Amino acid sequence: MGRAPLIQLQDVVKIYRTAEGEWRPLDGVTASIDAGRMIAVMGPSGTGKSTLFRLLNRLEDPDRGSITYQGKPLTEWHPIRLRREVHYVFQTPVLLPGTVEDNLSYPYKLVGERADREELAQLLERVGLPASYLTRRVEQMSGGEKQRVNLARSLALDSPVLLLDEPTSALDPEGASMVEQEICRLHKAGKTIVWITHDPLQAERIAEEIWVLENGQLQRKEGVNT
């Protein structure tokens, strides 16, 4: 017998009720994610891609159906523990006031550790920023720079699963290529990565499997990197 999926969605339904009526971004979705897979999630804007991530990270719960991680329902995981294991990197960076060093140090403080500046500088290097950025205040940075710092902070958590919501959308081509290479390196090192992208060429480059969400349904196809 093969290994059980790392993440399993079974008949998942998510319903939002608005003045215009009922909207179901996920309507009976069943899918699984094996450990160590790289999956690209695509689909028109507003079709439920971010909703899927919010459910996987338990920022919301499905209205029907179930989601498990490591064989255990998400509702049985402590939210903080789950979010360290299955880490959501938002498209719009959410950074703490202060310096880049303050932000990169935060994950270490959560577990009672202290990172030295060389370690933090290495995190920045992995996303294409120089060590001099450690003293820069986040309020003075561009959107693309903030996105890189947000990703670097996520790398400090060393989570086994990364949910990446358009991580290269605010970057120039050179920066996007560097971040893409780093994420592919993480995947080769054994991380499970689920990546929302609007770029079909990017999906073809990175993904072992492509999920397309539209009209509440999920279609799966093998990527070129299978």
Three-state SS string over 31-51 comes to EEECCCCEEEEECCCCCCHHH
Res. 223: pLDDT tops 80: no
Residue with tokens 């050179």, as numbered in its chain: 174
Place of tokens 């094996």: 34
Q: The sheet that has 38-42: what strands, in order across it?
A: 86-89, 161-165, 192-196, 38-42, 209-214, 217-222
Q: What is the mean pLDDT of residues 140-147?
A: 89
Q: Which CATH superfamily is domain 7-222 in?
A: P-loop containing nucleotide triphosphate hydrolases (3.40.50.300)
Structure confidence at residue 224 (pLDDT): 60
pLDDT-derived band at 2 (thresholds 50, 70, 90) equals low
Give the angle subtended at the CA of 181 by the CAs of 211 and 140, to the nearest 5°. Answer: 100
Q: Where are the domains of the chain?
A: 7-222
- The amino acid at 72: K
Distance CA 117, CA 154 (A): 17
Percent of the chain with pLDDT over 90: 62
Phi/psi for 64 (5° steps) reads -145, 160
162's tokens: 């990364």
pLDDT band at residue 226 using 50, 70 and 90 as cut-offs? low
pLDDT for residue 1 is more than 60: no
pLDDT above 90: residue 107? no
Average pLDDT of the residues of the chain: 90
Contact 180, 206 (CB under 8 A): yes
Residue 79, both tokens: 């939210």
- Least-confidence region, from 51-55, 106-110, 162-166: 106-110
Q: Say what the pLDDT of residue 176 is.
A: 86
